[in-house]
Amino acid sequence: MAPETISFARGAPSADILPAEAVREAASRALESDWKRALSYGTGRGHPGLGEWIAELHGVEPERVMVTNGSMEAASLLFRHFVGSGDRVVVEQPSYDRTLLILDRIGAQRVGVHLESDGVDVERLAEATAGVDTVLAHVIPNFHNPAGCTLAQPKRERLVALAAESGFYLFEDDPYRLISFEGEAGKTMLEMDGADRVIHASSFSKTVSPGVRVGYLVGPPKEIAALAKAAGETFISPNMLAEAIVWELCTSGALEENIAKVNAALRERRDTLVAALEEKIPEAEFVVPAGGYFLWLDLAEGVNTIELLDAAKAEGVTFVAGPDFMLEGGSNSLRLSFAPVTTEEIPEGVDRIARALESTRSRAAA
């Protein structure tokens, strides 16, 4: 019988680290104390209680916050609102594949700027935005998807200054900030912004669960009002029941408890993955992620990770090939997600990738 596939592909946690009991209890409490709001239509701004909690978390006025059905809905609203066909948008390389896809669908002119081990190359970004109208730059600051790196503090300051000088919006896409393994993550660019050029997105997908579909935007009041109006006109209201449950998790302390649990489990998975890679695929180069879900592998020149993926599937393991996250190139890179695999599965999964690498090489040599 073929072995069960070990999947490093999905950016979603394995079921054993989903907080079923905490959500069940929070739902029951929300339906005791907040049932009228939870079961009614809301507005485009989402649940007011949760909005206030988020505002306090970020030290801003509630008028700067809107709560959405996940941060991808927030990103989609934002891109469709700000970016027209032919508009220039800076994207990191590699970047989150769904961001690249939405921008492509809109017809945006996507300008790639490469990542370094401490985040986007800000000097290249400055060159890419100098003297040309750029609408927006999309940046994932913490525990990057897919690259695993974290944006250095001086680079954050430089980006905020560049956005103010050049007049583009800086979209700080930050769903992994609290999934931090080595203490608290650094300052947000939102905190540093004195010119109302930063729009920050985050989500409860990683701190509660992806299925709960609650995310949010924090940004300049005028833009948030316009986006909330667009959301209301499009969807009437986000899911008020889900938002009432998340609010209950936030205010009861259950969210904090869950984050501690999830981070401990993911940290162990990260450590196991790093050790297995060092032992079994020593040619692999990677940044050790200090949080989040992802590790990005650069393999030797000449490896084609799309072909490698076919061989890997035959060995019973999957990942996402590098080109999915790139405008061009990435053919010898791949993304491993350590969120959907248990610690026990990781060494065997890496063994299977190593075997697939060997088999593609011997096939090429034959």
Ligand X SMILES: Cc1ncc(COP(=O)(O)O)c(C=O)c1O
Instruction: Give me the residues that bind ligand X (CB under 6 A), please.
Output: 11, 70-72, 96, 140, 145, 173, 175, 203, 205, 210, 215
Min dist. Cβ of residue 293 to ligand X (A): 8
Which of 181, 355, 184 lies closest to 271 in space, CA to CA?
Answer: 181
Q: Is 215 helix (H, G, I), strand (E, B) or coil?
A: strand
**Joined tokens for residue 17:** 């680290």
Q: Which is nearer to ligand X, 286 or 325 (CB)?
A: 325
Min dist. Cβ of residue 1 to ligand X (A): 33
Preceding peptide of 94 cis, ω within 30°: yes
Q: Which is nearer to ligand X, 102 or 303 (CB)?
A: 102
Rounded Cα distance between 179 and 203, Å, is 11
* Whether the Cβ atoms of residue 325 and residue 288 lie closer than 8 Å to each other: no
Q: Which is nearer to ligand X, 72 or 103 (CB)?
A: 72
Q: Which is nearer to ligand X, 51 or 175 (CB)?
A: 175
* Whether the Cβ atoms of residue 242 and residue 204 lie closer than 8 Å to each other: no
Min dist. Cβ of residue 71 to ligand X (A): 3
* Whether the Cβ atoms of residue 63 and residue 86 lie closer than 8 Å to each other: no
CA atoms within 13 A on the CB side of 290: 16
Rounded Cα distance between 61 and 292, Å, is 28
CA 62 to each of CA 199, 218, 304: distance values in angstroms, whole numbers, following the listed order: 14, 9, 48
Min dist. Cβ of residue 25 to ligand X (A): 23
Q: Which is nearer to ligand X, 162 or 201 (CB)?
A: 201
Rounded Cα distance between 103 and 175, Å, is 19
Rounded Cα distance between 37 and 47, Å, is 8
Q: Which is nearer to ligand X, 11 or 94 (CB)?
A: 11
Is the torsion defined by CA of 93, 97, 99, 100 positive or negative? Answer: positive
Min dist. Cβ of residue 95 to ligand X (A): 8
Torsion angles phi and psi, residue 84, rounded to 5: -105, 170
The 10 Å Cβ neighbour count of residue 309 is 20
Min dist. Cβ of residue 8 to ligand X (A): 14
Q: Which is nearer to ligand X, 96 or 169 (CB)?
A: 96
Rounded Cα distance between 107 and 239, Å, is 30
Q: Is 41 helix (H, G, I), strand (E, B) or coil?
A: coil
Q: Which is nearer to ligand X, 144 or 352 (CB)?
A: 144
Min dist. Cβ of residue 186 to ligand X (A): 17
Min dist. Cβ of residue 236 to ligand X (A): 19
Q: Which is nearer to ligand X, 30 or 201 (CB)?
A: 201
Min dist. Cβ of residue 364 to ligand X (A): 33
* Strand bridging mode 317-318 / 215-218: unpaired
Preceding peptide of 48 cis, ω within 30°: no
